[in-house]
Amino acid sequence: MTEPPAHGSVVLREFTDADVRLALELGEDPYIPLIGGLPAHPTRQQAEEWVRRQRRRRGYATDALKAITEFAWTVSGVERIELYIEPWNRGSLRAAEKADYRCEGLLPAHHEIGGVLKDMLLYVSP
């Protein structure tokens, strides 16, 4: 997929340097610093660092996926663990592959998201 996913006026895209202004504004919201890594009332430097961190691949998703997968295999009755990932979601695809999941194929129009059927790639745990 060459175009980022969008719905209405919302477009999901990667962070850019222009988002420093957004980070400064977000840091003024009392709730945002409680749920993420952006400090309350950030300085410009803190906002720039936060934007850079959003673009860095730190491996947290892979570690989290490995942890939940290990736990899932301990649950009685679990015979298969599946992930359904939209083909454009490169970060999730990388995390799945690094967590040793393997792709079984594309499932066209498999999941409904926001009232629209979306293609999904099926990944399974070995």
Task: Kindly report the CATH number assigned to the domain that includes residue 71.
Answer: 3.40.630.30
**Which residue, 45, 56, 3, 4, is CA-closest to 23?**
45
Q: Report the distance separating Cα 19 and Cα 48, nearest Å.
A: 8
pLDDT tens readout for residues 29-77:
987 887 778 999 999 999 999 999 888 877 778 888 999 999 999 999 9
Of the segments 2-6, 15-19, 45-49, which one has the largest average pLDDT value?
A: 45-49
Count of domains for the chain: 2
* pLDDT at site 11: 74
Q: Report the distance separating Cα 109 and Cα 64, nearest Å.
A: 27
Same domain, 64 and 47: no
Q: Report the distance separating Cα 88 and Cα 106, nearest Å.
A: 12
Same domain, 50 and 66: no
Q: Give me the domain span that covers residue 19.
A: 6-55
pTM exceeding the 0.75 threshold for the entire prediction: no
* pLDDT at site 32: 84
Same domain, 39 and 95: no
Among 22, 37, 55, the domain boundary falls at 55
